[in-house]
Amino acid sequence: MMDKRVMLIAVLTVLGIVLTVIRESGEGHAEPFSLLPSSRQPVTADRVHRMADTTLKAQGIKRENIRPIRGRNDVRVLMPPSFDPLTFVKAMRDSLAGYDAQLVSMENARERTTVVQVKNGDQIMKAYIFSKEPATTARKGVPPSQPKKQIR
């Protein structure tokens, strides 16, 4: 009875080794399946502008606070104090996922602005310059209110 078990284990081990060698030596390896397309689609500056406009509106930026700069691919966005440009970057990254475009974000602490560029290779397709809305000036005779502390 013991000889049958040992023989069965030996045969199964040899078959396992043979199948492993056949699988590893096969030249026709199948490529892994992917739901994402292998090549990214090209994107136009107009398409980027529409995506960004929709994203800004969805995040509560008023239409009058979005101003294209004439003669340039730049758009100035006046943002309320509660707005964080990183939410815009994340939303745009998701929108541009299937397209051939990269996002580059830079912050200028001195000017208190954030610039988000949408690039295609070395070409800047659109640049969004985020700056804080100007603070309201206090009226004469009225003490200034204390700004609320922002939780980070």
Average the pLDDT over 30-40 and give the result.
Answer: 58
Q: pLDDT band at 27, cuts 50/70/90?
A: low
Tens digit of pLDDT for each residue in 45-98?
888 888 999 999 988 888 888 888 888 889 999 988 888 888 999 999 988 888
Q: pLDDT band at 99, cuts 50/70/90?
A: confident
Q: Tell me, what's the pLDDT at 11?
A: 92
Q: Which CATH number fits domain 45-130: 3.30.110, 3.30.460, 1.20.120, 2.60.40?
A: 3.30.460
For residue 34, pLDDT beyond 60: no
What share of the chain in percent tops pLDDT 90? 16
Q: What is the spatial distance between Cα 119 and Cα 106, in angstroms, rounded to a whole number?
A: 13
Q: Identify the burial level of 109 via C-beta atoms within 10 angstroms of its C-beta, where 0-12 means exposed, 13-18 middle and 19 or more buried.
A: exposed
CB 116, CB 85: distance < 8 Å: yes
Taking the whole predicted model, whether its pTM rises above 0.75 is answered as no
For residue 116, pLDDT beyond 60: yes
